[in-house]
Amino acid sequence: MLRYLNQCSLGRTAWLLLAFTAFALEMVALWFQHVMGLKPCVMCIYERCALFGVMGAGLVGAIAPKSPLRYGALAIWLYSAGKGVQLAWDHTMLQLHPSPFVTCDFFARFPGWLPLDKWLPQVFVASGDCSVRQWEFLSLDMVQWLLGIFAVLLVIAVLVLIAQFLKPKRRDLFGR
């Protein structure tokens, strides 16, 4: 399996699939927000940013998958998926154990050089409460689904990282 992941990481298709998956999840989030009328909280906005990081990793990896740029894409993927797991875990704990002393911010805090909430307010402005569970499917909240999605993305990223250190199997005429 690791050899297969190594082979996949050397082609554009797997990287584009990663980017498309993250893009599809972003579109679902925007559908929930703008069509279903669910209000994203600050933690939701940060989780969106982590998904955009995964999408960016897929696009960077697709640019030149056989070059060392692949390792940069893998680093972005690992960081974004790991941060997504952390954010979704903290958000889940806020929902499962609400407390008046532990709340999320009212506004997302982006760096001054990257004011995403000013550039794309339809995507990056928070208007909901982090402790409110707005949507459920199969008895899991949206944030719990995101926790599982980020965990799967992180496990796959770790496996792809491990696969980078495998030497390709040489096959000769006699099968040795």
172: pLDDT strictly greater than 60: no
Q: Quickly count: other Cβ atoms within 10 Å of residue 55's Cβ.
A: 22
Q: How far apart (Å, rounded) are the C-alpha atoms in residues 171 and 129?
A: 58
The model's pLDDT over 111-129, given as tens digits with 9 standing for 90+, comes to: 778 777 778 677 777 776 7
pLDDT at residue 34, rounded to an integer: 81
List of domains in the chain:
1-165 (1.20.1550.10)
Mean pLDDT of the chain: 80
Q: Secondary structure of 54-106 in the HEC alphabet? A: HHHHHHHHHHCCCCCHHHHHHHHHHHHHHHHHHHHHHHHHHHHCCCCCCCCCC
pLDDT at residue 134, rounded to an integer: 75
Q: How far apart (Å, rounded) are the C-alpha atoms in residues 94 and 88?
A: 10
pLDDT at residue 33, rounded to an integer: 82
Average pLDDT over residues 157-166: 82
- Catalytic residue positions? 41, 44, 48, 104, 130
The model's pLDDT over 26-83, given as tens digits with 9 standing for 90+, comes to: 999 888 888 888 888 888 888 988 999 999 999 988 887 777 888 888 999 999 999 9
CA–CA distance from 91 to each of 52, 94, 140, 146, 165 (Å)? Answer: 18, 5, 13, 10, 35
In the 8-state DSSP scheme, what is residue 36? S
30 or 99, which is more confident: 30
